[in-house]
Amino acid sequence: MRVVKFLPLLLVLTQVTGCGSGDFGDIDEFMAEVRSRPKGAIEPMPKEVVYKPFAYTAANLRSPFQPPVRLEMASKESGRTGVKPDLERVKQFLENFDIDTFDMVGTLENKKGTYALIKGSDGVHRVTVGDYMGRNHGKVVEITPDTIEVLEIVPDGENQWLERPKRLTLQESS
């Protein structure tokens, strides 16, 4: 019975002692060859290029990716006074994004009113009439089951402001 207890230990010891005897001459020869090779040189690091920061000052101007305001609309609207954005108003979260990045994906209605669901790069948001969205002081003026009507206030290029209607239509998923 005592022999059976020590049998696994005896087997492990015989296997370990069998691994100890071996000829490593070829490995020693290879290591000597590698050590005899000439040492390489490390290249110096490239010089650091210092970039000057660029201050973008055209944020209040019309985006070059939007069509310019038509002249007939500008002449028609130029007679109106009092059109200007409320610069003292606290901006809402959706005013940090361009209105063209939003897609209308649905509407909700409850006792409190009608809400539109818009999808942006950072998720889905709920807006109602009176909320602001987009970088051009866009105010939601009407919500229907398939559209959101937004009235933006944009500069006309002559230190005046114009009201420009914008419509977001429902994007149906395929």
Q: Does residue 13 fall inside a structural domain?
A: no
Q: Does residue 35 fall inside a structural domain?
A: yes
Q: Does residue 10 fall inside a structural domain?
A: no
Q: Does residue 64 fall inside a structural domain?
A: yes
Distance CA 171, CA 125 (A): 15
**Chain segment 3-62, per-residue pLDDT in tens:** 677 777 777 777 766 555 567 888 989 999 988 888 888 888 899 988 888 888 877 777
**Chain segment 120-135, per-residue pLDDT in tens:** 888 999 999 999 999 9
Q: Does residue 173 fall inside a structural domain?
A: yes
Total domains present in the chain: 1
The sign of the CA dihedral 23, 24, 29, 32 is negative
CATH code: domain of residue 160: 2.30.30.830
- DSSP code, position 170: B
Domain that holds residue 76: 26-174
Distance CA 80, CA 62 (A): 20
Q: Does residue 116 fall inside a structural domain?
A: yes
- Would strands 161-169 and 147-155 be described as parallel, antiparallel, or unpaired? antiparallel
**Chain segment 53-94, per-residue pLDDT in tens:** 888 887 777 777 877 765 554 455 454 557 888 888 899 999
Q: Does residue 52 fall inside a structural domain?
A: yes
The sign of the CA dihedral 130, 135, 137, 142 is negative
Q: Does residue 169 fall inside a structural domain?
A: yes
Query: What is the pTM (predicted TM-score) of this model?
Result: 0.54
